[in-house]
Amino acid sequence: MSRSSVSVLCSAVLAISLFGCMEQTGYLTRNESDQVSRLILEKAPSKIRHRINANIDGKVLLLGYDVKPKKVAAGEEFEVTWYWECKESPGAGWQLFTHMVDAEGKSRINRDKTGPIRRHFQPEYWRPGLIIKDRQTIKVPTKWGSPTVSLMVGLWKKNERMKITSGPSDKEGRIKGPTVEVLSHGEEKSVKVVIPRALTAPNIDGKFETEDAWKDALVLDDFTQTLTGAGSELTTATRLMWDDDNLYVAMRAKDNYLQSKYTEHDDELWHEDAFEIFLDPGGDKKHYYEIQVNPAGVVFDSYLPRYRKNTNEWSSGVVVKTGIEGTLNDSSGDDTGWTAEIAIPFANLDKGGGTPPKRGDEWKINFFRINVTADKPIYTAWSPPLRGDFHALDRFGSVVFGPLEAAGAKGHKGDAGPQPDAGTK
């Protein structure tokens, strides 16, 4: 269909009753209209990691952006989400642009059409009051050849750009967005965080969010997709702390369909919804441990003397309580998520050295989540392996056992087996 073909997409089609009818170029499929509807918000999010409030000619505000991860290798992807607010309709022909700029300030690549908003709902169709969540997955070319990539954005049509009246911008009329570090071949990308000591041992009852013992725990960043490092809408929040006896882990997962029919210890939990913990106390890429929990509180645990050599007769002695927000194995649609509160005894992690830890000791560790959906499983991780292998030991992050004053720090960013690789002016 040509650009002159305009269909009116009403709220019944876009599922956005708040905004009534909207004009849009071309006809969208149901799936496309659903994508767009989920990205038009009733109000601006309270938590935008990087707020800039850039004003574009009084018509559009760029409230800010989120970006993850902040380090990638050439050939890998990162995800940026822009939050736009429409104050006045921009008018016909106006579109968004994104420029990829190298460390010397040279524009190298345009990514103007990347993402559902860019493909289906450009600013020329925006109306006052709309909040637009504009998500883009950006791949850094294999031959990028620069230590950084910076993103510049704005509005354009034909041979002009809409004027930036306030906010961070350059001399070319572009808003300055995030700068992502591009790592050299073989450069270490895994993350390191400090785990605080617990003032008091938590009560393992699955209700950690209301317990004072957890208020000073380390809070890790949301998990990212295992193959790409890109973000996921179904977030996973994790907290960590330790004492002389245990490593404590608390997890909250957003999930709109809770599914796991496994009920016995050491069942193959990785085929359905599960949270997975990998521990390599000696950091030698062997002598490591795998502990999994499903929403029903069932545990799988295994000791591995070397890569993928599971010995499931080993028992972690882990104490687990879970909480379900919805109904397990019921597709009625009332599910919102689940929680897990876990105590892992150091006394049972005695193979390969490194236990019990002392202040200042460093372990290799990783966390994964498997989320089964109606379409396909979604695999996310704290330190993404960037390949289809949860046992990618070289991609584990590092944790340092610290004192109480380390509390409040922010993290970065199982055996599922091999996974499938899931013109601006």
Chain segment 297-326, per-residue pLDDT in tens: 999 999 999 999 999 999 999 999 999 998
From residue 382, alpha-carbon distances to 168, 177, 189, 275, 385 in Å are 31, 24, 12, 11, 9
Contacts of 185 (CB under 8 A, 6+ apart): 73, 74
Identify the DSSP state of 197. B
* CATH number for 125: 2.60.40.770
Q: 72 - beta bridge partners? A: 182
Q: Are 326 and 336 in contact (CB under 8 A)?
A: yes
| 179 has pLDDT over 60 | yes
The larger pLDDT score, comparing residue 287 to residue 153, is at: 153
Same domain, 152 and 208: no
Task: Provide the number of structural domains found in the chain.
Answer: 2
Q: With pLDDT > 70 as the criterion, what percentage of the chain qualifies?
A: 86
Q: What is the DSSP pairing of strand 50-56 with strand 164-166? A: antiparallel
DSSP string, 263-291: -STT--GGGSSEEEEEEETT-SSSSEEEE
Rounded to the nearest integer, the mean pLDDT of the chain is 85
Per-residue confidence band for 28, with pLDDT thresholds at 50, 70 and 90: low
Instruction: Report helix, strand or coil for 399.
Output: strand
Which pLDDT value is given to residue 222? Answer: 78
154, 224: one domain:
no
pLDDT over 60 at 410, yes or no: no
Domain membership flag for residue 391: yes
Report if residue 413 sits inside a domain: no
Instruction: Output the six-digit token pair for 222.
Output: 């949301």
What's the rounded Cα separation, in Å, for the pair 53 and 5? 34
Determine the structural domain holding residue 330 and report its residue range. Answer: 192-406
The CA distance from 156 to 57, in Å, is 12
CATH number at residue 365: 2.60.40.1190
Q: DSSP class of residue 103?
A: T
Q: What is the pLDDT of residues 216-272, one digit of tens each?
A: 899 987 788 888 777 777 789 999 999 999 999 999 999 988 999 999 999 999 999
Q: Mind listing the pLDDT tens digit for each residue in 122-140?
A: 999 999 999 999 999 999 9
| Structure-token pair, residue 412 | 């970065």
What is the end-to-end Cα distance of the chain in Å, rounded? 24
Average pLDDT over residues 406-423: 39
